[in-house]
Every structure is written in C-alpha cells, then in structure tokens.
Structure 1
Amino acid sequence: MKNFPRSFKRNAGVSAAMLGVSALLLSGCGAAPDEEGSSAEGATDFLGCMVSDSGGFDDNSFNESTYNGLMKAKDDLKIETKEAESQSETDFTPNLDSMVQANCDLTITVGYLLADATKATAEANPDLNFAIVDDQSIEADNVKPIIYDTAQAAFLAGYVAAGSTQTGKVATYGGLDIPTVTIFMDGFDQGVKYYNEQNGTDVAVLGMDSFTGSFDDVSAGKTTTQNFLNEGADIIMPVAGPVGAGTIDAVVAANASGKDAKVIWVDSDGYETLSSGNEVILTSVMKLMGEAVEDVISTDVDDKFDNTPYIGTLENGGVALAPFHDQEANVPDEVKTSVEDIKEKIISGEITVESDSSPK
C-alpha cells in the first residue's frame, strides 16, 4: 500500500464516516471513543485506534491483552489513542465508522468476528490502515492480519494436562465453533495423544465437540464444567473468553467439596489476569498479543506499514505456555523436562502440530 503523509490521511474526506456517525447515534449501543481521545506527553502526530469484540476490554482474555498492547504503544511511542468497546456484533460497523470519522491512522479490530466489518470499512477507506487480530481472510493492501499458531502452545498444554491428571480424564470446550477457538482444542487434543503415545497411557479428552454458543454466558461455562467434573475430568481448558469464568467458579466450588481439579486458561496468563480463582490455574496457553500490537503500530508510525501477516509461533515467542505458579509442585518433573524438549522439537519441525485452523 502507498503510505500517504499523515496530514493527507487525517484530512481526507470520507463519506462513509459521516454515515457511520449517524448510525452510531441512532444505534446508541456501541461505546464510541472519547471525543478528545487520550494522548501521552510529547505525542507524535499519530492516532492509533482499537475496536473490541463483544467481550470488552476487561475480559481477562484476548480483548484485554490486545488493549494492553495499545496502551503500551501509547506510552512507549507517545501516540494518541482512541478505543471503542462493542457490546454486540451490531456495534462493529458503527464503531469502525466512528474511527474513520476520527481519521485514525491505524485501527486495530480484535477478533475473527469483526472480519466482515473490517473488510468493508477498509475497502471504503483505502487511505487508512487497519489490522485485525485472529483473522487472515481479508486480502487488502491496507489490512494487516495478526494471527497465532496457538495449536503449538496448546499441544504443550495438552501434554502437561495428560501428565498431571489424577483421573485419566481431561476436558476442553469452546465458546463458538470458529477457527480461533478450535485451533486451541485441536492442539490440546494432539498434545494429550502424544503423551499417550510416549508413555503408554490412555488419558481421555472430553468435550472436543462441546461449545456454549457464546463468549458471554458465564452460567453455560459453569454448567459445562460441572458436567465434565461429573464425568471424571479433573483438568479443564475453556476456550471461551469471559465464559471461562464459569469454569473457574465450578472448579473452585468442586475443590471446596473435596475434588482436586484444575483449569488451563487461554490467551493470557490467567494466574496474572484473573481477580479470583487463580489458585486453580495449572497453566495458560498464551497469545502474546500486546507485543504484536505494539510492533504493528510502531511499524506504521515509521511509515513502514505492510499487509504481510504477523504469525505468532513458539519460535518467535508469539505463543507460549505460562508458568505453573501455585501448581508448580503438581506437575511432575519429568513432564516439565519433556515439555521443554517437545517445544524445541516443534520449533525444529521434528514434531508437527496440525489443525485445519492453523495459519497458512
């Protein structure tokens, strides 16, 4: 894409933006960015913007991690920022249009579900840049995908789960049946199977076809987890954003009644981000979204934006397995040693982790 001067981009008249403002006012749903935005002392003439998925920026998951990257870029790069939280999918387009009206130099959209709205807005505004987290379906000069091969880190989590279970049963479930969810589940399942192959065991994975149908129904997460616990699973990995809080609640309650169950969190280090229930977190499958977001913003600040996808892997540190924290003593030493060896074998290609949802 041709990198136009900031002044040109900021002053370009965009009819779609005016329509977007009207739509936003009529909808009354999306949280529009602050009128003045926020800026750091000595800010550059660059406006970095962000639109969340419906989980909001306090979801203890991918929205929050991405938002933290924007805030770090604000501090480190001295840029101006604006953000809009989506309460539902109907807010995506109005929120994006409001960013166009603000003449954002770069707008980052958070999540696979924003793909259609992002594509339409980017096509209507070729002089503005966009990036989207967790989607690579958009082919446009002004859209940069930020995607992650989370199956790699989830493979390690599956191995840890299989090597740490006391019941011989572990479980996972998703919020929605979409690629950015199933990629975690696929990697987890393969990691358990690899453990079985290497150790002559038969640890079972429950829930591979289980989805709650949303990212916000916490009660569904609790019920789903209770069902897994009743079936004998003692380690559960929810891939469901805020719905995962229901898993934490169910496991904490079960442990208070005598069980010894644990949770594997996703996207962020749940031990660090959750306000309660941290003690039941065995580990987390992390996507280091904040680092990627700041890097993409920095590139655009330097007028070096391109649409080449950023792909987070174990090799470049874009995905990782979190520390075991309070659960350190509950993970056998031989499992810890094997996980480090497996990580290197995945990086070298000796072990191949495959998912239909893996970045291509």
Structure 2
Amino acid sequence: MEQASLDFNLDVEYNIDTSTNKYLSRLETYGEANYDLIIAIGYMWNDAVLQASDKYPNTKFILVDNELTETKNNVISIIFDVDEAAFPIGFLSAWWADAQGVDTPKTAYVGALEIPQIRQFTEPFNNGVNYYNDKYSKNVNTSGVYAGSFFDEELGKYLCDSLINTGADIIFAVGSETASGALLQAKHNNVWGVGTDVDQYFSFPEVAEIMLTTAIKGLDNSIYDVVKSFTENKFNGGTTYHGKLDNSGVSLAPYHNADLIVADSIKTEVENIKVQIINGNLSSGWPD
C-alpha cells in the first residue's frame, strides 16, 4: 500500500487493531469521513463490508483474502489461488523427502481447519507429491492432519511430532498459530518445513534455518493492482480479483538456506511446473 500511495499520490490512513472485533464501526469511521476507498483484510470482515457497502454506496471497498458472499457493485474481492503455489511445493517436498535416503520417504501437512481455505493448500500439495511420483516412478508417501483450530500452538506441536514419529521427512504447516507450533516442533526434531502466506524465513526467524520455502500470498501486488484500477476509474465492482502465479498474486519463496542443497534439475522442474500451470497445461487439481 505504501508503494501505491506514492505512485498514485494517495492520502492513506491505517487502522490496525487486533484487539477488537468491532469491524463495522471501524468501517463506518471512514465511511462517515467520506473516504473514497476502504480496504479490509481477512474473511472476518465479510459481514461488515456487506453492511458498509450498502450504507456508503459512493465509497469503494476492497475485501482481501475472502470472496464477498453477496455481489456488491462498489466492492471488489481479492482472493488468492494458492493451489498454484502449493502444487509445485508438493513436488519440491516430495523430492526433498526422497533425497533423505530413507526406505519410505514421506511428506506430511498440519492444517488448522478442514475448510476450503486450508484445503486449497493441502490437497494441491498432495497432488504435487503424486506428480513427482508419476514423473520419476517414485513412491513418496504423503499424509496429514487437521487440528480443528487456528490458534492452538501446542496442538500444532503435538500433531507435528506425531507425524514425524511416523516417518515424515518434511512438514507443510498451514494455518496461523497452530501452524507456527508445527514448525517449531519440526525444528526441534531437526526436520525441515514449508510455511504459508508470507516468507516465514523472515517473518518467523525462530524457524528460519529449517524453512525450505513458503507458499506466499502476494497481498502487496494484488492490492496494488486493484488500487491502480481505482485511480484510473476502472474499478470493476462486483467482481473478484484472483492473485495467481502469472500476476505475482501467489509465489514460492526463495530456498534461502536450502538453495545449495536443492538440485539444479529440481529447481528447473519447479519453474517448468509453474510455467505449465500459468499456461493452463497443468492443473493443480483444485477444485476437484
């Protein structure tokens, strides 16, 4: 948003308050002040945006990381096709497990809740593992569990430890504090991990040394594109913007500490997979 404010000469105000759930009143503050564009980030804003968009029809709204449950002509939703990143990560993770030289290589995931937003990571991840197996005639196993909570770090640790004790060679951790617990446990067990949303090598330095990569949601790039359309009077209200590989809305983080470990041939194949997904020649398998 900072870059957009500079590029388009915008006056920007922020209301970052994680201590309250007064979503509608926070939107009303800006609606009453006649702000032209209001951005709300997260699925929890859905109902508030629905109400505020009716109350302030001349104000434009962007709902990020959730598709509005009703169509509103002054609202654009931004969602992220994270399956396009999770599939090549599954392929990469299968190679990583296979490269450990164990008899039964295995990838595993810890997901917060068994909901579409989490399954869009985990199921294409599994599909990527299977793609590796098919391509190289391998038999890397994959499994996973859902914790039933976003906010249980200790449960994330417990579930991760259980998966590692049953042979997991790498852990894909998906979903807030529960995922953080899984990555912390992976580090404790000297097992590498994969994160989500933002490059966790930087955002979660406690586990940086075991991060293979991260499935990134490019909030900055996607919000920039939609704000740009607003400044050009091309705001296409009532639609959904998809953050994808081809518009940098999703991506894979650099390999960081693993860069010298990952085989060049696998790096090349990961890039080939991304190109095939962008060109429509390879499907992540999501949705079924």
Question: TM-score by structure 2 length?
Answer: 0.89
Query: Structure 1 residue 230: deviation in Å?
Result: 1.7
Q: Distance in 1 between matches of 2:163 and 2:63?
A: 34
Aligned partner letter, 2:110? Y
Q: Distance in 2 between matches of 1:327 and 1:212?
A: 31
Q: Quick one: structure 1 residues 229 and 95, their matched pair in 2 at CA, closer, same or farther if it must change by over 3 Å?
A: farther
Q: Which residue of 1 aligns with 2:176?
A: 241
Q: Which residue of 1 aligns with 2:155?
A: 220
Q: Distance in 2 between matches of 1:335 and 1:271?
A: 21
For residue 133 of structure 2, the aligned residue among 158, 178, 196 is 196
Q: Which residue of 1 aligns with 2:120?
A: 183
Q: Percent of aligned positions with the same letter in both sequences?
A: 31
Do residues 283 (structure 1) and 213 (structure 2) align?
Answer: yes
For residue 267 of structure 1, the aligned residue among 176, 197, 200 is 197
Query: Structure 1 residue 175: deviation in Å?
Result: 2.2
Q: Distance in 2 between matches of 1:223 and 1:102?
A: 48
Do residues 163 (structure 1) and 95 (structure 2) align?
Answer: yes
Matched positions, count: 281
Which 5+ residue runs of structure 1 have no aligned equivalent? 1-69, 256-260
Q: Secondary structure at the match of 1:285?
A: strand
Q: Deviations over 1:60-116 (max 9, x none)?
A: xxxxxxxxxx23323443322223335478432333233323332211111223222
Flag as ranges the 4+ runs of structure 1 deviating above 4 A: none
Query: Structure 1 residue 291: deviation in Å?
Result: 1.2
Which 5+ residue runs of structure 2 have no aligned equivalent? none
Q: Distance in 1 between matches of 2:83 and 2:269?
A: 17
Aligned partner letter, 2:157? K
Do residues 313 (structure 1) and 221 (structure 2) align?
Answer: no
Q: Distance in 2 between matches of 1:89 and 1:191?
A: 39
Alignment check: 8 A CA contact 1:86 1:92 kept = no
Alignment check: 8 A CA contact 2:114 2:148 kept = no
Q: Quick one: structure 1 residues 173 and 339, their matched pair in 2 at CA, closer, same or farther if it must change by over 3 Å?
A: same
Q: Which residue of 2 aligns with 1:347?
A: 278
Query: Structure 1 residue 316: deviation in Å?
Result: 2.4
Alignment check: 8 A CA contact 1:212 1:221 kept = no
Do residues 140 (structure 1) and 72 (structure 2) align?
Answer: yes
Q: Quick one: structure 1 residues 212 and 72, their matched pair in 2 at CA, closer, same or farther if it must change by over 3 Å?
A: farther
The RMSD of aligned alpha carbons is: 2.1
Q: Which residue of 2 aligns with 1:323?
A: 254
Q: Secondary structure at the match of 2:214?
A: strand
Q: Deviations over 1:235-271 (max 9, x none)?
A: 111111343321232122222xxxxx11111111222
Alignment check: 8 A CA contact 1:175 1:239 kept = yes
Alignment check: 8 A CA contact 1:164 1:332 kept = no
Aligned partner letter, 1:172? Y
Aligned partner letter, 1:269? D
Do residues 292 (structure 1) and 222 (structure 2) align?
Answer: yes
Q: Which residue of 2 aligns with 1:24?
A: none
Q: Which residue of 1 aligns with 2:146?
A: 210
Q: Distance in 2 between matches of 1:328 and 1:287?
A: 21
Q: Distance in 1 between matches of 2:235 and 2:248?
A: 21
Q: Quick one: structure 1 residues 174 and 89, their matched pair in 2 at CA, closer, same or farther if it must change by over 3 Å?
A: farther
Query: Structure 1 residue 317: deviation in Å?
Result: 2.3
Q: Quick one: structure 1 residues 273 and 75, their matched pair in 2 at CA, closer, same or farther if it must change by over 3 Å?
A: farther
Q: Distance in 2 between matches of 1:313 and 1:221?
A: 28
Query: Structure 1 residue 143: deviation in Å?
Result: 0.6
Aligned partner letter, 2:138? T
Alignment check: 8 A CA contact 2:173 2:183 kept = no
Do residues 149 (structure 1) and 86 (structure 2) align?
Answer: no
Q: Distance in 2 between matches of 1:244 and 1:300?
A: 35
Query: Structure 1 residue 151: deviation in Å?
Result: 0.5
Q: Quick one: structure 1 residues 144 and 285, their matched pair in 2 at CA, closer, same or farther if it must change by over 3 Å?
A: same
1:61-80 → structure 2 map (5 Å cutoff): 70-80=1-11
